[in-house]
A and B are shown apart, each in its own frame.
Chain A
Amino acid sequence: MVDPAWEEVVESIDSLVMDAVESDSADLASVVKIHDKLIEIAAVVFDTPYAGIGEIAQKTAELAMSIVLQEAEDPAQALDVVVEATSTLQCMAREVLNDRSPAYVPIPDALGLNAEELFATREIDAEDFEEEPLGLDDTITKPMERMTETGEHLAEEIVVSSPTPAKTKDAPLPNYPQFEMGSLTSSHLDDFLSEMDELITRAESLLMTLEKAEQQSVDAIQELLGVFHTVKGVSGILKLKSIIDLAHEAEVLLEEASHLSAATINLLFNSVDVFKAYSRSLHSYRDTDNFLPVPQVEPLIAKLKEVDLVTPPKHKPKQSKAPELKPQVVASDKPAKPTTAATKPAPPKKARQTVPAPVETSQIETGKLATEKLAIEDEDRYLKSQQHGQEEVKIKTNRLDALIDAIGELVISQSMIENDPEISRITRAQTVRNISTMSKICRQLQELAMGMRMVTIQATFHTMKRMVRDLASEQDKDIDVMVSGEHTELDRNIIEAMYNPLVHIVRNAIDHGIETAAERVKKGKKEKATIYLKAYHRGGNIVIEIADDGQGLDRDKILQEAVKRGILEEDEQYPDEVIWQTIFTSGFSTAQQVTAISGRGVGLDVVKKSIARFRGIVDVSGKKDQGTIFRISLPLTLAIIDGMLVKIGAERYIIPLTHIEEFIRIAPEQIATVANQGQVIKLREQVIPVFSLQHLLRVCSTGEEHASIGVIVSWEGKRCCLLVNELLSQQQVVIKTLGDDFNKLTGISGAAILGDGRVGMILDVQNILSMVLNATGLAG
Chain B
Amino acid sequence: MPNLENQIAAWRESMAGKVPAETIEELEAHLRETIQNHLRRKATESEAFQLALAQLGSVPQLAGEFQKVENNLWWPVKAAAVGGSFLALLSLFFVIAFLTSRPAGGLLATHVFAVTVGYVSVLLMGGIAVCAVGQRAFSELSASQSRSVSKAFFRFGVIASAFTAVAIALGMIWAKISWGSSWSWDLKEIGGLSVLLWSIFFLGAQRTRSVSFHGLVLYGLTGNIIVALAWFAPTTFGLGNYNPGDYIAMSLIILPSLIALGAGLLPAAWLSKKFTAE
A and B are partners in one complex rather than unrelated chains: no
